[in-house]
């Protein structure tokens, strides 16, 4: 019997070793697991990008449909970011650890190596003794089976992984070292306890993933309804209706001061509360169905700011600056541009060209400032000091505003003519000053960013 048992154990070990030798392990696929599997050289510990790539590769069709993988990956990305697993290190918090045990692991070269094995809610992590860097891992949901082989002298724990998962069906063999725990019964108890907790973590992991899959299904259905044409038309109609109410209030409210119509004012106040609540609900729904994707759009940022301002504006009147916030509610109609394709493209084009336009305006402003300084020096001095005494160039701010007026061609001759002196004859200084300014600003710089009214 002992001989037959020994032969059976040897046959199982031969199968494991043959499977290990035949497994195709890509070094770029398994990151830091090289020294535990295919070769003895150490490699850098995996980083966060490696771990997230591993998660995406490990989403097999055994549990999830292809369309739901991206949604689940996004969910697992946010969950994993809260733990230490995705940093290539063992978790520091004990709340993340299901069981932690020092076991021997069958590695490359058919050698047993001591490893710290940590079972978390997401992975089985392996590290060298005395180190915290993860050198190998098994996603919990990819474990096909966990069994204990009691036929050998030391009970061996066999972990089978999914053929379509991260480890490509790679088998794992662990055992409790007889050199560390000499009592055979205690070694078996440790192996059974580890297996029991690993199986429990596996069941919880699958249940958690199935819950996330159901949530992702509801999320996709809600997104389809929300982004559908009927709902978007309804939201756009509410935005227009809110704008009409705001315009009506601005028209009627000043007419109701003496005497005020309390019924009408109450109607406007109630409408404002109703619209704010509706837009708040719409914002919450938008965030819940899009998740982090919501914050990738500038229009969504604008929606968030506008709705927040509307909520604050519903507060008491004695809050400082509350009237200014209430004026900002008029900008809610701009949310409409984010929902209408043609208008959104126009606004996006304007936003894209904003930086070049600002750069051109800075050059125009600098030229205006230079001419304003020269204007104060030439024309702002009192007549007794040899100047013209022009009030338009009395100070720098006055001169800067004057140069802005000249750039618009609005009444610039009324500014320049009085500087000609007696007889209305143009002096060289005045002529050169104004003609050079107009040529530089209005003919050269401003056309850089102003459209040509008569193209072609």
Residue 421, pLDDT score: 67
What is the band of 345 on the pLDDT scale with cuts at 50, 70, 90?
confident
More confident residue, 166 or 280: 280
Q: Reply yes or no on whether the pLDDT at 161 is more than 70.
A: yes
Residue 73, pLDDT score: 46
Q: Reply yes or no on whether the pLDDT at 401 is more than 90.
A: yes
Give CA–CA dist 278/264, Å, rounded. 21
- Per-residue DSSP letter, 89: B
Q: Which position has the token pair 């089976």?
A: 145
Q: What token pair was written down for 227? A: 């982004």
Residue 148, pLDDT score: 87
Q: Note the pLDDT tens digit of each residue in 219-230.
A: 889 989 988 889
Residue 58, pLDDT score: 45
- Kindly list the distances between the CA atom of residue 381 and the CA atoms of 183, 367, 372, 376, 400, in Å, as whole numbers in the listed order: 106, 21, 13, 7, 16
Given a contact cutoff of 8 angstroms between Cβ atoms, the answer to whether 147 and 158 are in contact is: yes
Assign domain 354-448 one CATH number from 1.10.3720.10, 1.10.287.70, 2.60.260.20, 1.20.5.510.
1.10.287.70
Assign domain 2-208 one CATH number from 3.40.309.10, 3.40.50.12780, 1.10.10.60, 2.30.29.30.
2.30.29.30
More confident residue, 208 or 437: 437
Edge-first strand listing for the sheet containing 143-149: 136-139, 123-128, 111-120, 97-107, 172-175, 156-161, 143-149
Range 73-77 average pLDDT: 45
Rounded mean pLDDT of the chain?
Answer: 75
- φ, ψ for residue 117, nearest 5 deg: -110, 120
Domain at 227-352, CATH class: mainly alpha
Residue 368, pLDDT score: 93
Q: Reply yes or no on whether the pLDDT at 45 is more than 70.
A: no
DSSP-based three-state secondary structure for 59 = coil
Range 383-404 average pLDDT: 79
Q: Round the CA-based radius of gyration of the chain to a whole number and report it.
A: 38
Q: Note the pLDDT tens digit of each residue in 96-144.
A: 788 888 898 888 777 888 899 999 888 899 999 888 888 888 988 888 8
What is the band of 409 on the pLDDT scale with cuts at 50, 70, 90?
confident
Give CA–CA dist 329/171, Å, rounded. 63
Domain boundaries, the chain: 2-208, 227-352, 354-448
b/e sequence 412-436, b meaning 16+ C-beta within 10 Å: beebbeebeeeeeeeeeebeebbee
């Amino acid at each position: 019997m002992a001989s037959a048992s020994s032969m059976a154990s040897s046959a199982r070990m031969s199968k494991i070793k043959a499977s290990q030798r035949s497994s195709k392990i890509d070094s770029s696929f398994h990151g830091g697991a090289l020294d535990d599997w295919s070769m003895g050289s150490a490699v850098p510990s995996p980083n966060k990008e490696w771990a997230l790539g591993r998660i995406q590769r490990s989403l097999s069709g055994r549990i999830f449909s292809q369309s739901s993988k991206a949604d689940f990956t996004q969910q697992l990305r946010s969950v994993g970011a809260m733990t230490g697993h995705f940093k290539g290190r063992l978790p520091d918090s004990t709340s993340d650890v299901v069981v932690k045990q020092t076991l021997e692991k069958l590695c490359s070269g058919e050698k047993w190596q001591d490893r710290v094995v940590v079972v978390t809610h997401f992975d089985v992590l392996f590290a060298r003794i005395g180190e915290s860097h993860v050198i190998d891992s098994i996603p919990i949901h990819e474990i096909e089976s966990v069994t204990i082989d009691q036929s050998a002298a030391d009970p061996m724990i066999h972990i089978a992984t999914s053929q379509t998962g991260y480890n490509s069906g790679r088998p794992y063999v662990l055992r409790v070292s007889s050199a560390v725990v000499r009592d055979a019964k205690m070694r078996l108890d440790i192996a059974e306890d580890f297996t029991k907790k690993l199986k429990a973590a596996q069941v919880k992991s699958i249940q958690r993933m199935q819950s996330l899959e159901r949530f992702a299904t509801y999320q996709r259905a809600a997104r389809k309804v929300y982004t559908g044409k009927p709902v978007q038309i309804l939201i756009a109609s509410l935005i227009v209706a809110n704008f009409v109410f705001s315009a009506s209030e601005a028209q009627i409210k000043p007419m109701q001061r003496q005497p005020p119509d309390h019924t009408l004012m109450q109607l406007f106040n109630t409408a404002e509360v109703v619209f704010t609540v509706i837009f708040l609900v719409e914002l919450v729904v938008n965030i819940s169905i899009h998740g982090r994707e919501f914050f990738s759009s500038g229009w969504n940022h604008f929606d968030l700011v506008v709705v927040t301002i509307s909520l604050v504006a519903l507060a008491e009147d004695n809050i400082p600056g509350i009237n200014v916030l209430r004026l900002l509610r008029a900008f809610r109609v701009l949310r409409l541009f984010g929902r209408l394709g043609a208008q959104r493209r126009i606004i996006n084009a304007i936003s894209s060209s904003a930086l070049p336009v600002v750069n051109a305006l800075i050059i125009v402003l600098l030229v205006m400032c230079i001419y304003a300084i020269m204007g104060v020096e030439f024309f702002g001095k009192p007549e007794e000091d040899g100047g013209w005494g022009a009030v338009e160039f009395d100070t720098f701010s006055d001169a800067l505003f004057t140069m802005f007026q000249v750039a618009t061609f609005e009444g610039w001759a009324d500014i320049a003519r009085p500087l000609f002196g007696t007889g209305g004859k143009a002096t060289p200084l005045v002529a050169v000053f104004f003609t050079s300014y107009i040529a530089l600003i209005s003919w050269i710089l401003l056309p850089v960013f102003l459209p040509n009214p008569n193209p072609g």
